[in-house]
Structure 1
Amino acid sequence: MKAFFSEEQLLHTPQQFMRLGRISAPTDLPSRAHSLQGALAARGIAVQAPPDYGRQPLEAIHSADYLDYLETAFTRWQALKAPGVDPGPEVLPNLSPYYSGRVESAGRGPCPSPSIVAQTGYYLSDLSCPIGPHTWRSALRSTHSAVAAAEHVAATGGSAYALCRPSGHHAHRDRAGGFCYLNSSAAAAARLLQTWSKVAVLDVDAHHGDGTQNIFYQRADVMTVSLHADPTGYYPFYTGYAHERGHGAGEGCNLNLPLPHGAGNDPFLRALDSALAALAGYGPQALVLALGFDTYKDDPISVLKLDIDAYRDIGARVASLGVPTVVVQEGGYMVQAIGPALDAFLQGLARA
Structure 2
Amino acid sequence: MKVIYSSDQQEHAPRAFISSGRLLDSPERPERAERFLEAVRAAGHDIEAPGNFGRREIAAVHGVDYLEFLETAHERWSALPDASPEVIANVHPGRHMAHRPDHVVGQAGWHMADTACPIGAGTWKAARSAAHCALTGMRFLLENETPVYALCRPPGHHAFADMAGGFCFLNNAAIAAQQAVAAGRTVAILDIDVHHGNGTQGIFYGRRDVMFVSVHAHPGDFYPFFSGYADERGRGEGEGYNLNLPLARGAGDQDYLAAVEKGLAAIRRYGADCVVVSLGLDAQENDPLGILSVTTEGFRRAGRLIGRAATPALIVQEGGYLCPELGANLAAFLSGYLDR
**TM range, smaller chain:** over 0.9
CA contact (8 A) 2:100 2:110 kept: no
Distance 2:312 2:135 in 1: 14
Contact 1:298–1:334 (Cα < 8 Å) also in 2: no
Specify which of 258, 267, 270 is matched with residue 279 of structure 1: 267
1:111-122 equivalences under 5 Å are 112-122=100-110
Q: CA deviation at 1:336?
A: 2.6
2:93 is equivalent to residue 97 of structure 1: yes
The correspondence for 1:303, drawn from 262, 266, 291, is 291
Q: Percent of aligned pairs with the same residue?
A: 43
Instruction: Count matched residues.
Output: 340
Scaled by the length of structure 2, the TM-score of the pair is 0.98
Q: What amino acid maps onto 1:194 in structure 2?
A: A
One-letter identity of the residue aligned with 1:255 = L
1:196–1:285 Cα contact (<8 Å) kept: no
Distance in 1 of aligned mates of 2:237 and 2:176: 21
For residue 316 of structure 1, what is the aligned residue in structure 2?
304
Cα RMSD over matched residues? 1.3
The aligned residue for residue 210 of structure 1 is 198
| Equivalent-residue separation in structure 2 for 1:188 and 1:306 (angstroms) | 27
Paired residues for 1:175-324 under 5 Å: 175-324=163-312
Q: Is 1:77–1:116's contact at 8 Å kept on the other side of the alignment?
A: yes
Correspondences of 1:139-158 after superposition (within 5 Å):
139-158=127-146
Q: Partner amino acid for 1:78? A: S
Give the aligned partner of residue 13 of structure 1.
13
Moved more, 257-266 or 42-51: 42-51
Alpha-carbon shift at residue 112 of structure 1 (Å): 2.9
Give runs of aligned pairs for residues 49-198 of structure 1, distance below 5 A. 49-81=49-81, 86-99=82-95, 112-198=100-186
CA distance in 1, matches of 2:207, 2:50: 28
Show structure 1 runs of 5+ residues with no match. Answer: none
SS in 1 for 2:66: helix
Return the alpha-carbon distance in structure 1 between the equivalents of residues 327 and 110 of structure 2.
36
Distance 1:316 1:22 in 2: 39
Alpha carbons of 1:42 and 1:218: their partners in 2 closer, same or farther (altered >3 Å)?
A: same
The structural deviation recorded for 1:197 is 3.1
Deviation at 1:335, TM superposition (A): 4.2
Runs of 4+ displaced beyond 6 Å:
none
1:325 aligns with 2:313: yes
Give me the whole-angstrom Cα distance separating, in 1, the residues matched to 2:324 and 2:171. Answer: 25
User: What are the ranges of 5 or more consecutive residues in structure 2 without an aligned counterpart?
Assistant: none
Whether contact under 8 Å (1:287, 1:326) holds in the other structure is yes
Q: C-alpha separation between the residues in 2 aligned to 1:281 and 1:99?
A: 37
1:341, CA displacement in angstroms?
Answer: 0.6
Counterpart CA distance in 1 for 2:48 and 2:38 is 14
Query: 1:123 deviation in Å?
Result: 0.4
Q: What is the CA–CA distance in structure 2 between the aligned matches of 1:112 and 1:225, rounded to whole Å?
A: 31
Deviation at 1:240, TM superposition (A): 0.3
Give per-residue Cα distances to partners, 1:226-276, cap 9 Å, x unaligned: 000000000000000001001111110000000000000001011111111
